[in-house]
Structure 1
Amino acid sequence: MPSTATLTERYISATVRSLRPESQDDVRAELEASIADAIEARREQGEDLPAAERAVLTDLGDPGILAAGYAERPLHLIGPRYYLTWWRLLKALLWIVPTFAAVGVALAKILEFATIGETIGAVVVAIIMSIVHVGFWTTLVFVVLERTATDTGATWTVDQLPELTDQGAGRSEVIGSLIFLVLAAGAILWDALRGFVRDDGVPVPILNPSLWPVGMTVLLVLLLAEATLAIVIWRQRRWTVGAAIVNTILAVAFVVPAMYLLVSGDLVNPGFLQYLAVEHAAEMAQADAGAAAQGGVLRILTVILGVVIVGSGLWDIVDGWIKTLRARRS
C-alpha cells in the first residue's frame, strides 16, 4: 500500500509542480479523484491494486503533457494558427534577403579589388548567414506570437480563393513580356535617333554609335526572338524543355556580348563620357574624389551595370527553368 500511494503522489506532484500556485490545489484534487476512480474501475474488473494503478498512470501519459493541457501551453514552436503565415513569409524572405545580400557583398568585394576567390567566398558566407538569420528571427517572432496569442490580422476569407486558370503561361505574362521588350527596343532607337541626352540640341547617344548597324541589329533581333518565344509559350499554354533551352540560349547570347563590350569599354559612347567630363566636370571630379578607393565613379557604374546585366540574364534563365519544372509537374 505505501508504494502504491507513493507512485500516485509522484505522478500528481510531477504534473502540478509546473502549474501556477493558485491552480495547483484544484488540479491535485481533480487528479486524485480521477485516478482513484479509474483504479477502482480496473479493480472491479479483477486487476490487483499495483497493476491497476500502473495501467491508469500509463494511460494518462507524460505528466508534462498533462500539465501543459491544464495550463493551455502549446507544446510546439508554431501551431496551425500561424504556421501557414510563417511558412509563406519565410519562403518569400528566403528568396529576397539572400539574393540582395549576395549582390551587395559581391559589389563591395569587386569595388575593393578583391580576388575572384575572395569574392566567391564572401558571397557564399553572406548567403549562408542570411539564410540562418532569416530562418531564426522569422521563426522566433512567430514563436512569441504563438505563446502570446497575438492576432496577426492574417485571417482567411473566401475572397482569397484563386480564380480558376490554366496551369500554363497566362495572357498577363506574355503581355508584360511584350511591353518590356517593346520599351527596350524603343529606348535603343530613341537613344540613337533622338537621344536621352542633348548637347545644345544635338543628341548625345549613351550607347556607342559604332555598334550600329551590326551590333544593334543583332540586339534588336534578339529582342524580336524573345517576343516570338513569349508568344509561342503563350500559344502552347505552358513552358516546355525546348522553350527553356531557347530562352537560355537567348539570355546567354545577350549577356556574353554585352559583358564583353562593357569590359572592353566599347558599350558606352566615348562622346557621352566626354560630354560628362566637360559639361559636368565639377560633379565628376567630386564623385571621383569620393570613390577614389574604389577606382573612381566610372568603375563603380561599370561594376553595377555588369551586375545588372549578368543578374538579369541569370534570373531570366532560372525563371524559365522553374516555370518548366512547374509545368511538367502539373
Structure 2
Amino acid sequence: MPTTATLTERYIGATIRSLRPEAQGDVRAELEASIADAIEARLEHGETPESAERAVLTELGDPGLLAAGYADRPLHLIGPRYYLTWWRLLKLLLWIVPAFAAFGVALAKILEFATLGETIGAVVVAVITSIVHVGFWTTLVFALLERTATDPGTSWDVDQLPEPVDRGAGRNEVIGSLIFLALAAGAILWDALRGFVRDDGAPVPILNPTLWPVGLTVLLVLMLAELALAVAIYRRGRWTVGAAIVNTVLAIAFVVPAMYLLVSGELVNPAFLQYLAVEHASEMAQADAGAAEQGGVLRILSVILGVVIVGSGIWDIVDGWIKTARASRV
C-alpha cells in the first residue's frame, strides 16, 4: 500500500522534524505503533486502508501541534498562569507611563520656548511611543517567563481578594472637598487682607489686587459651585452624566481665565515681584543666572504654575467622568 505508507511517513516526518535529534527516534516509534494500531482497528470494522489511514491521521491533527505537545513547548504567547498578572501590570503601566511622558515632554518643550504645535506634536509622539514600548517590553518579559520559568513564583489565596469598593459618592469625598475649598478660599482671603508676605509690616499680596472685586469674587463663586456639586452628588448617592458635565464646565471656567491671566502677566501682583527683586536681589540674580537658558527663574515658575493649573483641571474632568462610568456599571 504505497499511498498509505507515504501519508504516514509524511505525517511522522512533519511531526518529528522540529524535535531534538535524541527524541526523534522514540517519537517516531511511538507514532508508528499508535497509527498502525488505529488503522488496524478501523480495518476490522470494514473500512478501506486508504480511508482508515486518512481518518487516523486527521484525528491526530496538525503535526506541528502534536510536536509541541511532545516537546512541552507552548504555542501561545502568554499562557493562563501569567496572563492575568501580565494584563494587570500592563493596564497599570499604561495609566502611569504615558501620562508622565506627556508631562515631561510638555514641560521641556515649554521651557524651550517651542510653539504650541511643536509642543502638541512632541507630546503625541511621546505618548504613542511610550504606549508601544510599554506594550512591547512588558509582553516580551512575560513571553520569556512563559518559556523559561518553571514556577510562576506566586500563588493566589483568599487574602488577595479586593476590598469592597464604594462606587457612589461617599461622605469622605464631600468632607475632603469641603476642607480643600475652605482652605483655598481662606488662603485667597488671607493673601488679599493680611498677606502671606509683608514688607515693613505692610501686606504684599501675591495675587494681583486688580483682580478684586470681580475676578476673585468669580473665583469664590466657582468654588462654592464646586462645593454645591459635591453635596448634590453625595445626596444623590452617585455620579451622573449631568454631574460630570457640570464638573467639566466648572473646571474649564477656572482653567481658561486662570491661564489667560497667567500668560498676560495679570495673575501675580507686580508689587510682589518688585519685592522679590529688591529684598532678595542676590538670590534672584543667582537663580536667574542658573536658569538663563530657560528664560529665567520667573519663566520657569510661570511654566510650572501653568502646568499645575492645566493638569489639575484635566485631572478633575477625567476623574469625574471615570466616576460616572463606574457608577453606571453598578
Shift in CA distance, 165/192, structure 1 to aligned 2, threshold 3 Å: same
Q: CA deviation at 1:324?
A: 2.0
Q: CA deviation at 1:154?
A: 4.9
For 2:99 and 2:306, locate their aligned partners in 1 and report how far apart those are by CA, in whole Å.
16
Instruction: Please state if 1:303 is matched with 2:303.
Output: yes
Instruction: Please state if 1:40 is matched with 2:45.
Output: no
For 1:173 and 1:43, locate their aligned partners in 2 and report how far apart those are by CA, in whole Å.
77
Kept in 1, the 8 Å contact 2:81–2:152? The answer is no
For 2:211 and 2:40, locate their aligned partners in 1 and report how far apart those are by CA, in whole Å.
96
Alignment of 1:126-275 (within 5 A): 126-149=126-149, 153-164=153-164, 166-192=166-192, 195-197=195-197, 203-275=203-275
For 2:176 and 2:26, locate their aligned partners in 1 and report how far apart those are by CA, in whole Å.
66
Shift in CA distance, 207/6, structure 1 to aligned 2, threshold 3 Å: same
Shift in CA distance, 238/41, structure 1 to aligned 2, threshold 3 Å: same
Kept in 2, the 8 Å contact 1:239–1:324? The answer is yes
Q: Per-residue CA shift, 1:235-289, capped at 9, x if unaligned?
A: 2111112211211121112112211221121212223322322333233223322
Q: CA deviation at 1:299?
A: 1.3
Q: Which moved more, 1:254-263 or 1:159-168?
A: 159-168
Q: Per-residue CA shift, 1:100-149, capped at 9, x if unaligned?
A: 22222222222222222222222221121111111111111111111122
Q: Which moved more, 1:201-210 or 1:320-329?
A: 201-210
Kept in 2, the 8 Å contact 1:233–1:239? The answer is yes
Gaps of 5+ in 1: none
For 1:108 and 1:118, locate their aligned partners in 2 and report how far apart those are by CA, in whole Å.
11
Kept in 2, the 8 Å contact 1:195–1:203? The answer is yes
Match for residue 89 of structure 1?
89
Counterpart code for 2:245: I
Shift in CA distance, 221/33, structure 1 to aligned 2, threshold 3 Å: same
For 1:155 and 1:215, locate their aligned partners in 2 and report how far apart those are by CA, in whole Å.
58
Q: Per-residue CA shift, 1:273-313, capped at 9, x if unaligned?
A: 22322333233223322332332221122122112111211
Match for residue 67 of structure 1?
67
Q: CA deviation at 1:57?
A: 1.0
Q: Which moved more, 1:280-289 or 1:82-91?
A: 280-289
For 1:316 and 1:156, locate their aligned partners in 2 and report how far apart those are by CA, in whole Å.
35
Gaps of 5+ in 2: none
For 2:178 and 2:153, locate their aligned partners in 1 and report how far apart those are by CA, in whole Å.
38
Counterpart code for 1:47: E
Alignment of 1:49-128 (within 5 A): 49-128=49-128
Counterpart code for 1:239: W
Q: Which moved more, 1:149-158 or 1:293-302?
A: 149-158
Kept in 2, the 8 Å contact 1:78–1:143? The answer is yes
- Percent identical across equivalent pairs? 84
Q: Which moved more, 1:129-138 or 1:108-117?
A: 108-117
| Aligned Cα root-mean-square deviation (Å) | 2.4
Partner SS state of residue 268, structure 2: coil
For 1:21 and 1:174, locate their aligned partners in 2 and report how far apart those are by CA, in whole Å.
70
Q: Per-residue CA shift, 1:152-173, capped at 9, x if unaligned?
A: 6553322233344553223343
TM-score by length of 2: 0.90
Instruction: Please state if 1:30 is matched with 2:42.
Output: no
How many residues align structurally? 330
Kept in 2, the 8 Å contact 1:177–1:230? The answer is yes
Kept in 2, the 8 Å contact 1:39–1:49? The answer is yes
Kept in 1, the 8 Å contact 2:167–2:323? The answer is no
TM-score by length of 1: 0.90
Q: Which moved more, 1:125-134 or 1:156-165?
A: 156-165
